[in-house]
Amino acid sequence: MALGKDYAAQECSIARALEVVGERWTLLVIRDALYGVRRYNDFLVHLGIPRAVLANRLQALTAEGILEKRRYQESPPRDEYVVTDRGIALWPALRALGVWGREHLGGEPMRTFWHADCGTELSWYGACPACGTVVAVRDIHMKPGPGLDPDPADPVSRALLAPRRLLQPIETEPQRSAAGPA
């Protein structure tokens, strides 16, 4: 029997979730959005994803309410993709998948995650051992781990070498003033 192309016949919440986030590249786009990537070009260079695939994933994630498209420049018109509360709710699944991959498939941690308020490294499920609470995504501080390349080629990876809070937008291009270049 041939494998179907979707999970429509499945009565399962995991199958319904896979209809939204189960395509190749989708979880990596969401991961990058949580890390602060917002601009099409930044997703493109950081992921090495084909343009058509990225455009399709961003459109689908926007339609599902996981990302929100916002205009950040009028002339020429440019938009960015901001992760929504619905997208933020995927953080525990992404965190668990990353921990599982490292534990069962090997490798050094690429990034470590800390409670910004008290400076304690988070457990695998996102709780702060010192405070005893599950830490909100906005209160998670990300630091480079020993598995990261200390001299990456792309500007997004270079920006992500600096310790930062999740959801904090990254900047890979110089900011221009409203009056234009000096």
pLDDT for 8 beyond 50 = yes
pLDDT for 1 beyond 90 = no
Question: Degrees (nearest 5) of the Cα angle 32, 143, 54?
Answer: 10
* Residue 180 backbone phi and psi in degrees, to 5: 100, -175
Question: What is d(CA 137, CA 114) in angstroms, rounded to the nearest whole number?
Answer: 10
- State mean pLDDT over 33-45: 96
So what's the pLDDT on residue 171?
Answer: 87
So what's the pLDDT on residue 5?
Answer: 62
Cut 0.85: pTM above it? yes
So what's the pLDDT on residue 178?
Answer: 42
What DSSP character marks residue 39? Answer: B
CA quadruple 177, 178, 181, 182: dihedral sign: negative
